Amino acid sequence: MRPIRGEEVAAGLAVAAALALGGCLASGAGVPPVSAELLARVEPAGLDAAALQRGRDLYVGKCARCHTALPIDAYGAEAWPGILARMGPLTPLDGPEQQDLAAYVYAARALLAE
């Protein structure tokens, strides 16, 4: 048997970290489910639960296709507008999908900040 090289160890650790984080996202840690509590933090008020659920599904499903979708509270509230503005043109999301995603992220960030 040959010895394990440093880059193989690093690659293995990266895969393990990604799997662990993926498990966190799937379990809802840092990506809260749509609830009445989350709906209360939506601005502008009046957005429905279906739009927030679409936004959550996009965050968990689409963002993670190209990179790790971190827990929403990994970034401060002031960082999210810039992140979404930079990422929007790089995605295949249409305008309504981007709006649903943004509404979910802002509401989730407000909830997690409490």
Residues 73, 66, 81, 105: is their CA dihedral positive or negative?
negative
Residue 47 pLDDT: 78
What pLDDT score does 84 carry?
A: 93
Question: 112: closest CA among 75, 61, 84?
Answer: 75
- Tell if the pTM clears 0.75, that is, is over it: no
Q: Are 70 and 30 in contact (CB under 8 A)?
A: yes
Residuewise pLDDT in 10s, the chain (114 residues):
556 655 544 444 344 344 444 444 444 568 999 999 998 888 766 778 999 999 999 999 988 788 888 899 999 989 999 999 999 899 899 999 999 999 999 999 999 988
For residue 62, give Cα distances in angstroms to 26, 41, 58, 91: 13, 23, 5, 9
- What is the distance between the alpha carbons of residues 36 and 24, in angstroms, rounded to a whole number? 22
Position 80 scores a pLDDT of 93
